[in-house]
Structure 1
Amino acid sequence: MEAVYRHDMYHNYLVLRAGDDMESTYKYHMLINNRIKGFAKTTVRTMDNEKFLYYEISSRQTMRIMLEKEKVDYRKLKNILVCLHGCMEEANRHLLPAEDILMDPSMIFCDVEMETVEFCYYPGWGRKFMPGLNDLLQFILTRLDHDDIQATRTAYDLQMMTTRDNCTFGEIVETMMAGEPIAVSQKEDSPEIMKEMQPENLEIKKRSSFKISEPDLKKLHNATNKGMMVFGTILAMVTGTQMYRAFRDMEYGFFIPVSAAGVAVCLVLSRLSRGALSEPEEVPLVPGLEESEEKTEEKDPHPPARGNFLESQSTCGGDDVCIKDFPFTVGSLAGRVNHVIAEEGIAPMHARVIRDGEDMYLEDLNSPGGTRVNGERIEPYGRVLLEGGDRIEMAKSTYIFR
């Protein structure tokens, strides 16, 4: 099934070609004439004597893109299946069979927080529901947060249930809803955690020691030396006065100890000023433990292509965008994108730069305001090869690709 994305006025659509005999079916008319909760709003348009289903997907992202850099925890897993369960109940209420629900992650659409998940219904698709759900769960397994033990166990259990011949989705929902988050004590005592705590799996670390940076150490040395000089001068004056009095009064028994004490104090002060503040050495936790691995400079597996930053041309003083990671996403929602553009008209996830070998492409992420390269608008999820000097426009933000 070939999927095409279109922008029309202020709306974006997923476009699928309607089947030849779809118009004569009950499912087709039920889908078109009703706004069914949990499914993307669907309309029909005719072009060149062919009918196409238009699914409105404005301001939403595909599940595949949403989970590219984000892991699925128990809350997200449960929410996906709860939304799917709601869709199935609505489909059943409208007498629509579940096997026509598209389970491809590229055709499942979510809001940026993944609180709402919408599915597409294609009359006549006719694929069995459980194999489709199995494929969806296998995709989710590759995006699981394996630190979340509850999510890991539940996802694997549900995926195994879908392979049984007599399993129903009702049983899957019951299994999902019956699960409770693992308590902290249970999580700490889990086999995975206990295995990590075995002595042979523990990494021996060096005990941190008190350190002073080189510039601060020099400043401290200078300040200490000045203090020592002042203190030594005062002490020398006092000692000299006592020595003069002892010599004047011919008290040699007092003169010799005072002289010796003065010399000893001067030696001690000199020693302290030279070596007392040397930088302490690190003390390893295990005696004799030394660094066995030399630090090697990590090389970027993806060296920069022809351009690696976007030069801002905005009059409002926008920042240049340094492209580091791929795919590199820009938008207005911090925490979801690599670079935040806080301007009116910028979608939460607006566009992204993708690398393919030495080439770099700009892809629009279904943004309502759209993305333009050299004045030409990119269709939703469409890609354009970037060349040095290309002019990129996103809402009121303008950049030059370098």
Structure 2
Amino acid sequence: MINSQYKKDFDGQYLIIVSEEENSNYSLKMLLNNKIKGLLSLDLHIVDNVKQYHYDITSRQSLTRSLDNIALRYEEVKKIMEETIKAIEEGKEYLLLENDFVLDPDYLYILPTYEVSLCYLDGYQKDITDQLSSLIEYLMNKVDYNDEQGILFIYGLYKISKEEYPTFDKLLDFINNKCKKEEFISKKNNRISINKSTEKSNIENNKDNNYKIAEKSRSKVKRKVESKDKSNKKFIIPIMEERLESEEEVMVYSEKAIGFSAFSVMAYIILILMGYKFELYYDKFNEKLDIIKMFGYILVLGTGEIYLLSKLLHKKNKIPKIKGKVEYINDVDINETESEEEEKENRTVLLDNYNSEKTTFLIDEELTYILKSTNSINYKDIKIIEFPFFFGKLNDQVDKSVKSNVISRFHAKIEQKGEGFFITDLNSTNGTYLNSNRLKADVPKELHLGDEVRMANITYQFEILNEII
């Protein structure tokens, strides 16, 4: 229990903590002589031979008071957690002990911009892992439940904090990776919005040039196809099953029930041995072992033992416990659907000599690239409508959702740089292969017409589709 009080004067507001613990001179000197980013400024006062630590909390409020009747959004939760972890890491650079940081919401202070300042109390010595887990649980109850992004973010942090060996690096990696994905989604949405707004004007402005572009495209296709002659050599590799981790609640016997059960079994064995030692099984007249008496003795004790165990191991003595669960998925969902309306939306066409009584020609303005499936029964061709083009199994966050459990959420992307094309694996579980060679994660590799592209065990061929409808 922290013995604290508050003081307000013309200089500012202060949190005062009275401590009778023996303090480390080193830690105290570090705090008094250095302004450590993310930590509250400290002054030491001695009153009646008792040390008082004065923490400057001017313009700040405790987390508990700031979040009273307020629901946090994703950006706010992310900033609080990121700055808390970075403050602890900064303190460790000054050799401050991590277990002396106070992460109690009553003593964790923030500005209106959610900039975090921690209280460091020498001698506090409370496990930082338990403190961090408690802080995350507190924030889980403060997140706006209408903010799906915030809920998924705080739950991801909670899962990491409950691992056997959680680290600050794991938490920061999760936070940074989450931010990168959100930045990618935001850029992608902005790009789609700009493309749709300019599509109509492009059709009118380029009307006179479309036939020339179409002719140029046909000759370009012919040159590229003739210059590339790749063999469709099939290569089969083992597929790693996707590992899904989750938690589930199971009912287990309490330690007390197990302990009493073990004790009763030991007592049963001891009583049987004592009966043998004190010759309770012997016939005194014939001076030999009486089998009937021995089995009767064991049967009576056994009946009592079974009754006692049935009471101790009754289902009412079970208690709930959270247990980690790991599943490996290898069933491939081969049902894949295509949306024709989406393709029509993204196609730029020319309405040439429009007349309701005449035939209308729709001519592609530019080359159309596709990934042609080598297994057309289970997987359809993928039409690449824009660059960069992202593949994965998240419906709303990639350009093409491939319905298969061996495909990662963000699996790969194809982008155009000048006249060339490049494919990049996005750190997928089962990998991306170019002509049977596995790509390194986040390293672009040049892609040519006719190249074989395999995502996990699903194979395509990169080609050009020149359509005239």
Bigger strand fraction: 2
Q: What's the TM-score, normalizing by structure 1?
A: 0.44
Q: Which has the higher contact order (CA 8 A, sep 6+)?
A: 1
Q: What's the TM-score, normalizing by structure 2?
A: 0.38
